[in-house]
């Protein structure tokens, strides 16, 4: 299950920019394109067996195209396609803005990963249990055999270290 989730996460990260550009050929409504991309990945996550997908890129692009065309058909053609639009310059600028935002987000992720890597093994473990697994201080104490005050200090020290690393 964990390998499947990692595979799906990696696939999402790899193909979202490609799918967004591709989807913009079918609609100038960026929110619609993003929604359809999320729907495609939601359906992909629900799919029990991914081994029958021979070419993931083709599969995702076809699924996105079909999703956008279905919505366009249901709206009786009220969704304007890129070919019919006179706003190509606006589209190009918006795509550039989207790519810049994507790069900024990736840079933030890289910085956060580097900051997390500066934590000790124990700090990573306690922070994960508290913020990701959402365990209480008492539950963490029981699981790790620590005192309540120790757990609080570990989290406090970890957050201080993260703040210091992210300010650099």
Burial environment of residue 159 by CB neighbours within 10 A (0 to 12, 13 to 18, 19 or more): middle
**What does the pLDDT look like over 39-98, one tens digit per residue?**
998 888 888 888 888 888 888 888 988 888 888 777 655 544 444 443 444 455 566 677
Number of separate domains in the chain? 2
One domain, residues 88 and 133: no
Q: Which domain holds residue 90?
A: 2-107
One domain, residues 81 and 160: no
One domain, residues 30 and 89: yes
Q: Identify whether 112 is part of a domain.
A: no
One domain, residues 7 and 81: yes
- How far the first Cα of the chain sits from its last, in Å, is 37
CA dihedral 90, 95, 98, 104 (to 10 degrees): -110
The pLDDT confidence band at residue 15, using thresholds 50, 70 and 90, is confident
DSSP code of residue 84: G
Distance (Å, rounded) from C-alpha 31 to C-alpha 112?
Answer: 27
What is the number of other CB atoms lying within 10 angstroms of the CB of residue 8?
15
Check residue 59 and give its pLDDT. 87
CATH number, domain containing residue 123: 1.10.10.10
Check residue 132 and give its pLDDT. 82
Q: Identify whether 113 is part of a domain.
A: no
User: Which string of DSSP letters, residue by residue, matches 97-161?
Assistant: HHHHHHHHHHHHHHHHHHHHHTS-HHHHHHHIIIIIS---HHHHHHHHT--HHHHHHHHHHHHHH
Distance (Å, rounded) from C-alpha 140 to C-alpha 138?
Answer: 5
């Amino acid at each position: 299950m964990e390998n499947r989730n990692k595979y799906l996460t990696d696939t999402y990260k790899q193909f979202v920019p490609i799918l967004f550009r591709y989807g913009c050929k079918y609609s100038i409504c960026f929110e619609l394109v993003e929604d359809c991309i999320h729907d495609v990945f939601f359906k992909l996550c629900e799919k029990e067996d991914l081994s029958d997908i021979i070419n993931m890129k083709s599969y995702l692009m076809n699924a996105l195209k079909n999703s956008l065309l279905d919505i366009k058909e249901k709206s009786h053609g009220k969704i304007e396609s890129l070919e019919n639009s006179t706003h190509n310059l606006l589209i190009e600028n918006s795509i550039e803005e989207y790519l810049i935002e994507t790069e900024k987000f990736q840079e933030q992720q890289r910085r956060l990963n580097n900051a997390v890597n500066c934590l000790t093994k124990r700090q990573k473990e306690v922070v994960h249990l508290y913020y990701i697994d959402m365990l209480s201080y008492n539950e963490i104490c029981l699981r790790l055999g620590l005192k309540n005050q120790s757990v609080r200090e570990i989290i406090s020290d970890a957050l201080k270290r993260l703040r210091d690393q992210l300010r650099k």
